[in-house]
Amino acid sequence: MSLLEEAKPALSSVGTSTISVFETGEYEVNSITVESGGSSIDSPPPKSLLIFTPVKAGTYPVLHFLHGFALYNSFYSELLTHIASHGYIANAPQLYNPLRPWDSGYDEINSAAEVTNWFSQGLKLVLPEKVEADLTKLALAGHSRGGKAAFSLALGTYAKMSLSFSVLIGIDPVAGEDKDNQLRPEILTFQEQSLNLGIPVMVVGTGLGCKQAGFLTPPCAPTGVNHEEFLKESKPTRGHMVVTDYGHMDMLNDNPPGIIGLVSGIMCKNGEGSRDIMRKCVGGIVVATIKAYVEKDVTDLKAIVNDPTIAPTTLDPIVLDEAQLSFFLNN
């Protein structure tokens, strides 16, 4: 019997939230564009930012979100709006020019760290009146290569930060090829539990990410360097949820504009269903994970684990390690 099966009786006695994490939350959300300019914390951020924030006065936890390979942060606006509507301030920097993604290298991680350091003094200057960011409740997430960058940032070996993250969420993370076109990602060691992140990790995978969109296109999330490997190499506490019927880009907006948007829609194997369903599913998992590990409210994450059918599409498998189950059962 698996750990999850053993824990099911205890997990079944959970309440339900007033608003499902898979549906739009109760907060009206505005988006704010902040242009880059300088490295001082009193200046605009070192990289341009999209911020999705509740407009209602209050103090909210913060999500730092890193975009995927050769993508614009704006392609995630629907996903990040969903997350923010549940009472979070979601920040998405544009870490590099999507037309020159191979030039970024370690700069991608360094830029993400610089933006994180800017939050302490800069974020309050751009938020709506009477909206405050609680930077003691800070979550980190990234998609695709942005997921790899998020893992690297959380490790703290490539760039130093003045703030600490409470949880890491990898959304179909991928460690790609190096300049010699060999699979030697800087982050992965191919050794189990080798990534000592020091915080809980939730890895969200896709069932179709490892499949080819066509005969001539490689998989966008190849087996061996995708979500499964990131999960295997993370130390506890760690969890894993796979959105079975959707692909690597299906959490993006519908029909992102421009040539980059066109390419993002055809290079990866896509699911047959609506992207809105995928966005709600991924957004709900992110919200439930932040609530559990940042706000110490495990109700929604327990509910998903206990009954995956509450999600708008199939989640299979759901895997939790012993440390995560212990956390659930004691909260």
DSSP 239-274: EEEEETT--TTTTSPSS-SHHHHHHHHHSB---SS-
Length of the chain: 331
d(CA 329, CA 331): 6
With the CA atoms of 316, 306, 147 and 149 taken in that order, what torsion angle do they form, in degrees rounded to the nearest 10?
-140
Distance in Å from the first CA to the final CA of the chain? 23
The answer to whether residue 143 is catalytic is no
With the CA atoms of 151, 154, 160 and 166 taken in that order, what torsion angle do they form, in degrees rounded to the nearest 10?
160
* Structural element, H or E, at residue 243: strand 238-243
Which of 144, 152, 166, 234 is catalytic? The answer is 144
Which of 111, 248, 250, 264 is catalytic? The answer is 248
The answer to whether residue 240 is catalytic is no
The answer to whether residue 248 is catalytic is yes
Tally of CB atoms within 10 A around 158: 16
Q: What is the residue type of 146?
A: G
Question: What are the structure tokens assigned to 105, written together?
Answer: 């290298």
Which of 67, 77, 152, 172 is catalytic? The answer is 172
Catalytic residues: 144, 172, 248
